[in-house]
Amino acid sequence: MHRVTRAVGMGFTLAESLVGMVLAGMIAIMLVTVCVRQGAAGTAALLRAAARSQWADSRGVLAGDLAALSQGAGRLLIADDTLIELDAHVGAALLCKPTTGGSAALTVTALGLTGLVVADGWTRAIASGDSVLAFDPAQGLWVGGVLVDAQPGLCPPGPLGGVGRTLTVAALGASLSLPIGAPVQLRRRVRWSAYRAADGRWYLGLRERAGHAWATVQPVAGPLDTRGGRPLPFSLADATGQPISTPGGWATAAQLEVRLAMLGDSPADRVPLVAALRRRP
C-alpha cells in the first residue's frame, strides 16, 4: 500500500505559508504602526514634559523678579507685549555695622539661614556694577551707589553678628550715616523678552546688564509656539484690571501677566504667571 505521508519537520504547504505570511505581515504592520504612534506620542510627551519643566523653572525665576516690583516704584522700566525691562532683585541684607559720613564701605549680613535672624538672601551672584541701595531712616529715603567690589567681612557681635560681606560702593553720599539694621539691596537691570534665536525659533530670553553693557541673551524657555504669529507673552493691567496698551502706560501697571505657548505643550499647560505689583505704603 502506498501511503502518502508528510514527514515531521519537512515544511509547510503553500496555503499554510501564504496564510502565515499574510498574518505575519498584518502583525508586522500593526506593530510598526503601534511603534510609530508610540514613538510620536513619546516624542510629544517628552516635548510637553520639557515645556512644562521649562515653564515651571522659568516661572520661578520670573516670579522672583516680579515679586520685587511695586506699583509706581520705578523698577518696571519698559514694558510691552514682547519685552519687559526691570531693575531686578540681586539680593538684600541688613547693615550690621553703622556707617559714618564719608565711608564708602557697607558691611552687611551674609548669614543666610544660619544666623539667629534671617537677614539676607541672594537670587543672583553679586557683580561689580550692580546698583546698591541703602535705606536711610533719618531721611526716609533710599540712597544709592554703584558696587565696586564685594569681599567677605565680619559683623560685630549682636543679633546680626557673624559672617558678613563688605560692599565697596562708589558714589555713596559723602555725609551718609546709617544705623545698624538698615536694609541694603542690590539690583541689576534685566530684560525678559520673546526673541528669535539663530536657529530661527522663538524663545523666552533673559538678558542682564553687567556694568554698562548688556550681556548675551540667554534662552530660559522655548521654543515658543509661533502658529498664532509672533509670541506676545506679556500683558499689563491697571488697578481696575483694565488692559494697558498705551505706550508708557506701564507706569500705572498694577498687574503683569506672562503667558507662554511653547512648542509641544497643550492649552491646559499654559497656566499664566500673574503677578500683582505690591502697593507702596
Partner 1 sequence: MPRRRGGTLLAVMLTVIVLAAMGAALAQRAVAHVEVARAHARTDAARAAADGAIVAAWHGWDGVQRGNDAVGAVATQLASADSAAVVVSIVHPSARLWWVSAAAWTPGGAGGRLVARSSGMALWIRVAAPVPLAAISGAGEVDLAPLARLVGPALPPSGWNCPLAPALEAIVFAPPATLRSPPGAVVGGIALPSSSLTDVPAAWAAERSVIAGQADVVLPGDTTLETPTLADSTLCASGWGSPDRTGRGPPCPRRFVVAHARGALTLRGVGQGVLQVDGPLVLDDGARLTGLVIARGPVTLRGSARLTGALVLVGGAGSRVSLLDSARVEGSGCAVAGALAGGTLLTEVPAHAWYRLR
Interface residues with partner 1 (CB under 8 A)?
A: 8, 20, 23-24, 27, 31, 34-35, 38, 42, 45-46, 49, 52-53, 56, 60, 64, 67-68, 70, 73, 89, 92, 94, 112-113, 116-121, 123, 133, 135, 137-138, 140-142, 158-160, 179-183, 185, 278, 280-281
Question: Which residue lies nearer to partner 1 by CB, 17 or 128?
Answer: 17
- What are the residues whose beta carbons fall under 8 Å from the beta carbon of 197, sequence distance 6 or more? 203, 205, 219, 222
Cβ closer to partner 1: 179 or 243?
179
Give me the least distance between CB of 265 and partner 1, in Å please.
Answer: 13
Output the smallest distance, CB 267 to partner 1, in A: 18
In the block, residue with C-alpha cell 523698577: 75
DSSP string, 94-117: EB-S-B-TT--EEEEE--TTSSSS
Shortest spacing between CB 74 and partner 1, in angstroms = 8
* Rounded least distance, CB 128 to partner 1, Å: 22
Cα gap 116→109, rounded to integer Å: 11
The nearer residue to partner 1, 24 or 232, going by C-beta atoms, is 24
Q: Residue 181 Cβ, how far from partner 1 at the closest point, in Å? A: 2
Short-list 155, 145, 158, CA closest to 102? 145
Nearer to partner 1, 134 or 194 (CB): 134
Which is closer to partner 1, CB of 117 or CB of 170? 117
Grid cell 541694603 is found at 184
- Left, alpha or beta for 211 (phi > 0: left; psi -120 to 50: alpha)? left
Residues contacting residue 54 through CB under 8 Å, at least 6 positions apart: 220, 221, 222, 262
